[in-house]
Chains A and B, each alone.
Chain A
Amino acid sequence: MEAFRCSVETLTEFANSNTTSAKISSTKTEVLLTSGSESLLVFSTKERRVTAILKFESPVTALAARGDDKHRLFALCRNDGVYCNTLPTETSSPSLLIDHAPLPTLSAVSSKSIVVKDENICSFLLVEDVLITVSLRDSVWNFSLYKEQGFSTVVEVFQKIGEFHIPAMASKSLMDCVEEESPPPVLSCVCPSKKSSFITDGPQEQFFLEPQLFTLLFGLESSILHSPVVLCGLPDGRLCYFPLCLSWSAEPIGEAKPPVKVLHSLEQPVVFIGTSVTGEKGPQCLVAIGQMGRLLVVGGKENREAGSSFVELSVQGPVVCACVDDSHLYYSTLSDLLVLRLSAAVTTETQLQGSKSDQLTLGNHSPVGLRISGTVAAVNTAESGKLLILTLRGRLQWVKVPQCFYKRNVSTPPSSQAAQRTKDLLAGIGNVWERAITLRQKLLSKNEALGRLNQVINICALLSTNQSNEKVQQQPIRCHTTTHWNTSTEGDSLILTCTIENNSPFTLEGGLILFVQICGTPCASSTNNTSSTLTHSLPLQKLDSGQSFQVALPLRTGCNLSIPLSIQFSLVWPTLALLGLDTGLLSVSDISVCRFESDTACVSLDLTSVTVDWLDVLRIGESLRHRNISPQNLPVDAFLCSRGTLILDEGRTSETRPFEATVHVSSELLRSRLGRGGPGDLALCVCLLDWLLSATPGADRIRPLQSPVVHGHLPSGPSVRLLAKEMVLTDVCNEGPLSVLELQVESDSVVAVCGLHHAILCRLQALLKEMAIKCQVSRQLGGPSLRAAVQQAESLYTQMQESQGPEALGSELKTDALFHLHQRFSQNSLAIL
């Protein structure tokens, strides 16, 4: 048994009384106590001293104080009756000398103060203005009710208003020898608790009980009338009760039913009756304890079956005195003051074992000793857990049971409430769980977003460092394209296949978008100079390191192609992906809807830019014989129509003689660049053509090239011949004849010639740019030829300037002049060194 250290405050100490018949009664400011002698002490808790001593004519056996406006005390004296006296009021002024506390006033109470004279009265109780006395006469217990008549103010007059009897038990005579020691009957008053006022600060014998149990125990009528019920624990162990304000003889048949009924029998002298286990509607248990330690707990049944449960428990006796508070029973066995926690659960727990067994274990509800011995009288105070006790040695003490004791024994609610509370708790847990789940999801998505951001930043860093050098081949993330033609009934269409290769150590996360921007050449003839731009955004799937991703983009069908096309590849990472939005469906317009600036909302990384020129769209090896399309029906007509009438006319007139354009490149240069072919070898020509047509669709079919002549045709119809031959220019260089490679483009269509010429020049230019870094060729160019070339170029430039001037002649003349210029330009005999 774990002991609790409770705080004890000794108020005062009297002489050893050595009697267990001491009694205490307390009001708000005063404690009345008697040790069973003739004197009654009035102790002021405020001043901590005895303020008055009342001397009665015979020993005081019971007392009660009324702290109401009349300030009265009631005392029962042996062989005398019930006295009523006003409490001596403090008249003496506070003493100036602290050392000499004022002496208590001593006053004798004469028999004039007797309000009910009956020498057989054993016990009394005051309920409001009704005095109830119990007396034993001729082995009959008499209950008498006296009502205070409020007419006389000085001396109380009590008028008898009722009396009834119950016979004492026959076995009483057998116990005659111990009769002297048996305690007097215990009277308590129990009221049904109202909603507002079940917390009692009334007299200590007045208890409340929750209405439901009250109805079950004491009947419907008392409950309806809110009638107090007087409970009496007789020395023979019977617990009798009678309602205080009912029509007792109101029986339908008229048989006189005695109002006193027996609730239970403890079969040992009753020491205390009270109520405890305060619930929402008031105390839930009726508690009675017998002298030998038998404890009766009456509670309501949990189930709906009507009835109450009477549970008897046993504690170690003998019990000298007892009191209760909200949830505990305190009882004294003289050797110790014990606390027993009462709960409604006691009732249900031990119910099954039946109320018959005498030694019922209390389970975990075992009494706990407070290690205070010799308590002979105890009353609880208004403060929970604080008792006022009087010990055998005459000490008046305040005992405060530590809060930890209460904390450990948190009172359990009744199971009906418990079910509700459990439901509430479960619902609460559910709510928390839901919130935790959503929080976790958010956290996960944020983590994911951070991971993705990390990847993206890595890739950004990677790409931005690599963007400076133009070596596409070494870029970890590469994008390259191929073109091929797709033939269908609706017409041929050019398919651009782009492949992204991820050679970086990072993973390209899903959510990245491959942005493909296709720009056509600005149309010369159109009035507005805007280029036609087409944008594709392709969401990338997750691309691990080493994987590649291929996508096919249809370019426009043949007739609508505006070649060369410049295609810009970039990786775009919309920052909104961070917010967990589905970026797969995002377009730029969506982003703007989200009130993000399109540039700030996206991280854009340029990958590659590719140009699709005429060489890429040339169809090699497929002669027109496969396509039996008459020239009249050829789409070229439409194409040329779109290009202007002049060109169409020109095309017609040039049927006799195809247009041609030539490019001269130093063969040495080419050789060093392409890295193969010997001097004067046919192979160099083949090699050059091979290089030029490496990306051309259909070129595979004729490769390796056998001859330096390649025939092809454009999608729009006109056939094209590419011819490469080696020749020697003598007048160009001072050092001697220069071997150059002449690349000739021949076609019926001027557009094709121009386009191819331009494409070849562009490619060579790109090739030579790389070369220029490597080889430092210093050649002495021949002066005269150079001069002639410069002069020619100058004159061409001048003419072009003139033709572009605003004062130029009509459009026909202008185009004519330009065409001639072009002819001359393309016949330019300059060689690229």
Chain B
Amino acid sequence: MSIASCLVDRWTEENNTIITKWKECERCYQGNRSVQMQYYTESLKLLRKIQGIPPDFKNLEVELTVAYNTFLFSLRYCERNEAKELLTQCLNRLTEAVGCQVDSSEPGDVWLSVLRTVSDPVSVSSVHRLLLVQWALWLPGHQFERIHQLLVQVNHTGAEMTSSLSDLLAETGDLGLSVEQSPALQVAMVAKELKDLLHICTVIARGIEQIKEGKHSEALVGFERAKALSTPRVLLAQTHNLAGRCFASLGLPQSALRSYRQALEVDFGCLSSLHHSAVLYAELGNSQAQMEALRLLHSAVMLQSGDRPDPVSGSLVSPAVLLGTEHTAFISAVPSPPVILYTLAHACVLNRRISDGAEFYLDLLASLQSDNIPFVSETSTDFPRIPELYLEVAFTLLRAGRFWDAVAVCDEIITRTADLIPERMTLDLPLTCYRLPSDAASATLTDKGPESVMEKLDCVVWTGAAHFLQGHAYWQLMDTKEAITSFTRSVGVLVKVCISQRGGVCGQGRGEAGHRVLETLKSQALAARAVCFSERGQLKESLRDLQLSLQISPGCRSAELWRVEVLWRLERREEAQACWRAARSSTETPSLEDLPLYLQGFYSDSLSLDHNNLEKKMEKFIQSGHKT
């Protein structure tokens, strides 16, 4: 007897020593993985020692407390199976100690009988602590059903499980755990804290599940309720953030923005809400705010990825462990810096903040070219292909007036694609259109046919566009000769693609889109060359190119006006007049909306004609013609 109590005392002492040391470590923020592992080992050793003797009710408190501590140490890195085994072992000893018989090895059943049997308050609190461990072990696996059952049993011991799963949060909220502890035995983490943590994590995990299932309003209820809980700031910010996402999904953007702002107010490290507010601002068309948000996000991400100490490395149980990697990734998903930078740069260019956009684009290129491997996360769907990115950069530089830089960036594309341009290729439009996306996914592994054709088409378009942008750069540099060379090269590359239209017309698909870009580019290059020719006084060549351009994509107003001008200069007044009338009567211009950025906005800028002058000229002529 005395031996037993002596042992209990010694074990208590040992446990307290371990915990005291650990607390010191925790205070000094030295509780990193290896230290934690060391304490786990020590604690486990103590537990094994205790378990060395047959289970005894008197030792129960010490044993369960040590087990609790051991589990807490183990949660960070230990294998779940190992912990589960250990827990099962503990439960078995517990049932043995309290003297209840369980036939099933199912933990739920074991718990049921244990909870029913144990009534001694000291033991109950120990058992409940162990129950929290069970909860923590089930939570990352999203076993809400079992957790619910368990908690229901705690609240209404002996009652049949009638409430549905949706009441889990309610059950969790008014969970009547006895968490008082004896001061003699120290624990690594107070059971109350763990319970709160588990509570909020369960709310979040459940909410995420619901969001994924599309039950936004239900999830929102849970989040709203959780805001009242006392939780760590990080998790509170996450609840705000998730609530914001629910609001956004429910079509309440202003509420969503407010939630995001609250999240940021709680914890500025909640970058996900910053990201989502940027997305929301973009949807709302508030580009100024969007850019601001993106800029903040980028600098925050860069700051974090620099040298960030793990914010939860010091604490014993991190929410990430409890939520599981999948959900952690979901809530903290932030695009990688290149994607943010790209979105920012793109937004700047679209909003005519060209010089800022150019700087951001150049930063992006620099980060992509840097030596450490940049990872663009899988979720980013709006990041362009790399050559397209280069073309956008070139375009932006061109718009920013940095012509030589634009030429250099285009040169990069041209040299890279030089080997990939086929001598001649045929684009079979209907064939590519009929391919279903699912087909394409599986077919890429086995056959390289249409996929490689599309790749080649892309290469052709990229090279053509690079030459086209170079031509514009030279044009702006007043070097019409070089500009003509570049435009000619562009056209020369683009005409390598033969379009074979077979069968019906298909509006969708990659092939069609590629074809449209190709044709537009060709038309624009020809028109631009025509302008260069007319500038050099080669009016016949100019007229020929304009005719070709208009033939490829009819209805382009700028090209039509240029044709009038060139015809006028060629003294072909009657034809000029006819064209003028046709141009005036037609109002439709092909939309450039869905075209790549680098093809937009050239007609309005550099190549535009002085319309007023032409108009006066034409009106005068038409009037004089009528008079005569």
Contacts and interface: CB of A to CB of B under 8 A. Distances in A.
Interface of A: 112, 117, 127-130, 147, 151-152, 154-155, 157, 160-162, 166, 212, 215-216, 219-221, 223-228, 244-258, 260-262, 304-306
23 contacts: A129-B373, A154-B34, A155-B33, A160-B325, A161-B375, A162-B377, A215-B416, A216-B419, A220-B420, A220-B462, A225-B369, A227-B373, A244-B373, A245-B374, A247-B380, A250-B385, A253-B437, A253-B509, A253-B513, A255-B441, A257-B441, A258-B444, A306-B419
Interface in B361-402: 368-369, 372-381, 383-387, 390
9 closest Cβ pairs, A-B complex: A247-B376, A255-B437, A221-B386, A247-B383, A245-B373, A154-B34, A250-B383, A224-B386, A262-B445
Interface in B514-531: none
B386 A220 contact: yes
Contacts of A154: 32-34
B381 A249 contact: yes
Given A151-B309, A224-B386, A224-B412, A215 B420 contact: yes
Contacts of B421: 306
B85 interface: no
Contacts of A255: 437, 440-441
B455 interface: yes
Given A216-B419, A220-B459, A249 B378 contact: yes
B473 to A, nearest CB: 20
A154 B381 CA distance: 37
Contacts of A245: 373-376
Interface in B401-431: 412, 416-417, 419-423
B37 interface: yes
Contacts of B437: 253, 255
A147 B32 CA distance: 19
B457 to A, nearest CB: 11
Nearest to B508: A253
Contacts of B37: 112
Contacts of B387: 220-221, 224
Contacts of A257: 440-441, 444
Contact of B369 (A166, A226, A248): A226
Given A129-B373, A220-B459, 10 more contacts: A152-B32, A155-B34, A157-B33, A161-B377, A224-B416, A251-B381, A255-B440, A257-B444, A260-B445, A262-B445
Contacts of A157: 33
B79 interface: yes
B104 interface: no
A247 B440 contact: no
Interface string B433-449: 00001001100111000
A151 B310 contact: yes
B116 interface: no
B354 to A, nearest CB: 24
Contacts of B445: 166, 258, 260-262
B45 interface: no
Contacts of B339: 247
B510 interface: yes
B366 to A, nearest CB: 12
A249 B380 contact: yes
Contacts of A221: 385-387
Nearest to B34: A154
A262 B446 contact: yes
Nearest to B412: A224
With most chain A CB atoms within 10 A of its CB, the pick from B384, B419, B509 is B419
Nearest to B379: A249
Given A221-B387, A224-B416, A152 B375 contact: no
Nearest to B447: A262
B437 to A, nearest CB: 4
Interface string B58-94: 0000000000000000000001000000000000000
B373 A228 contact: yes
A306 B420 contact: yes
Contacts of A127: 373
A200 B309 CA distance: 34
B518 to A, nearest CB: 14
Nearest to B437: A255
Contacts of B510: 252-253
A129 B379 CA distance: 22
A366 to B, nearest CB: 32
Nearest to B386: A221
A117 B79 CA distance: 9
Given A152-B33, A254-B381, A225 B386 contact: yes
A223 B325 contact: no
Contacts of B369: 225-226
Nearest to A259: B378
Contacts of B373: 127-130, 227-228, 244-245
Contacts of B378: 162, 247-249
Nearest to B510: A253
Nearest to B310: A151
Contacts of A247: 339, 376-378, 380, 383
A129 B374 CA distance: 11
A815 to B, nearest CB: 100
With most chain A CB atoms within 10 A of its CB, the pick from B33, B375, B510 is B375
Interface string B597-620: 000000000000000000000000
Nearest to A212: B419
A262 B32 CA distance: 42
A109 to B, nearest CB: 15
A504 B509 CA distance: 107
